[in-house]
Amino acid sequence: MRFKRLLVLVAVFVTFAALLYGAKPPALDIVNQPYVVAVSDELVDTTQFAKSEPPYTIGFVTIFQANSWAVQFTHELLVEAERLSDLVARVIHLDAQGEIPKQIAAVEDLIAQKVDAIVIDPISPTALQGVLKRAQQAGIPVIACSSQIPLDQVTAWVGRDDVDFGRKTAEWLVQKLNGKGKIIALSGIAGNPVAENRWKGAKEVFDKYPEIKILAREFADWGYAQAKDVVSNLLAAYPEIDGVWSGGGAMTRGAIDAFIAAGRELPPMVGEANNGFMKQWYNLKPQGFESIAFTNPTNHTAIGLRLALNALMGYPIPKTVTAVGPYITNDTLEDYVRLDLPDEYWAGNNLPEEVIKEIFGVK
């Protein structure tokens, strides 16, 4: 009993001393967060960004909320902020609605509001350079999430390897076609670094196979309806399509429905871990349909928030963090498809089940 009493007294003393002398909270874990596969050796000295004791005000800027992946992506940071409420006083979320001028204005607004840190999904790899520099000159660390951007423009970056996405999925498609065939390609938004880097990786592979002919590459804004329309037009133009490379799961879902509506046989297609696509895949699998799906984690923003908080507490942070999910195949599909959730759900997240059901209106 005396020993236990001593431990209690020591704990009280340590707590009192921490409060008295303003000891900062311990650094938040980054390496062991879900889907983190690599952390750069380069560390950023965050002394210039260190603030007084928490909690802090975080500015959060997104590209758009036009698809369900973006909605989950946004909720990841908001949920993480609630988990870390002792460190986060407030999150100011501003959405650019897909427009570069609005995203620049959002960052300028946050600078004016003197937020402590900014977490942003940059809409362009070049257009934000000036405003992001001004933010950091004002002592505000800027953590970029998901979309790639030159690293000298931001304090740190967290995201996936989009070139690897393109490369591995293209390799799978080439293998299924035995190195020859006519294919179409679907990309997200023209000029967006995610879309361009995914295609860069895919094109590197396709260029190695002279008997792989790319009939067309079209942009469908990562949307189901846009992709269905695009592929319907391509089916009318090309009587023979042997494969579909797609830079997003919702677009693959649209491609499948376009092929079915046209009465055309389904070729192998590349996809992503969108639940609607995975449901289609699950239902078509007995008929011989094959695919591969990249898991694009939505928790990049939660990891970005952790990086921002560590910077504000003065801890060195890694310059880059790579977080990717597994590649889903015919053999592992049943582990990821959620038949109980709507098509809009995305596998590869760190959201509580109750939040997922709230987002998608499931009771």
What is the pLDDT at residue 233?
Answer: 99
* Residues 6 or more apart whose Cβ sits within 8 Å of residue 227: 186, 220, 246, 250, 251, 252, 253, 254, 255, 258
Query: What is the number of helices (H) and of strands (E) in the chain?
Result: 11, 15
What is the pLDDT at residue 22?
Answer: 56
Model confidence pTM above 0.85 = yes
Tell me how far apart the alpha carbons of residues 256 and 267 are, in angstroms, rounded to a whole number. Answer: 9
- Cβ-count burial of 301 within 10 angstroms (0-12 exposed, 13-18 middle, 19+ buried)? buried
- Exposure string of 186-220, with b = 16+ CB inside 10 Å and e = fewer, is bbbbeebbbbbbbbebbbebbeeeeebeeebebbb
Q: Do domains 24-160+298-323 and 162-294 have the same CATH topology?
A: yes
* Cβ proximity of 235 and 254 under 8 Å: no
Per domain, the residue ranges of the chain are 24-160+298-323, 162-294
The neighbouring-strand residues paired with 93 are 60
For 162-294, give the CATH class.
Answer: alpha beta
Using DSSP, state whether 63 is helix, strand or coil: coil
Q: What is the pLDDT along the chain (363 residues), one digit of tens a residue?
A: 333 333 333 333 333 334 333 578 999 999 999 999 999 999 999 999 999 999 999 999 999 998 899 999 999 999 999 999 999 999 999 999 999 999 999 999 999 999 999 999 999 989 999 999 999 999 999 999 998 899 999 999 999 999 999 999 999 999 999 999 999 999 998 988 889 999 999 999 999 999 999 999 999 998 899 999 999 999 999 999 999 999 998 899 999 999 999 999 999 999 999 999 999 999 999 999 999 999 999 999 999 999 999 999 999 999 999 999 999 999 999 999 999 999 999 999 999 999 999 999 998
Residue-by-residue DSSP string for 279-327: HHHHHHGGGT--EEEE---STHHHHHHHHHHHHHTT--EESEEEE--PE
Q: Say which CATH topology domain 24-160+298-323 has.
A: Rossmann fold (3.40.50)
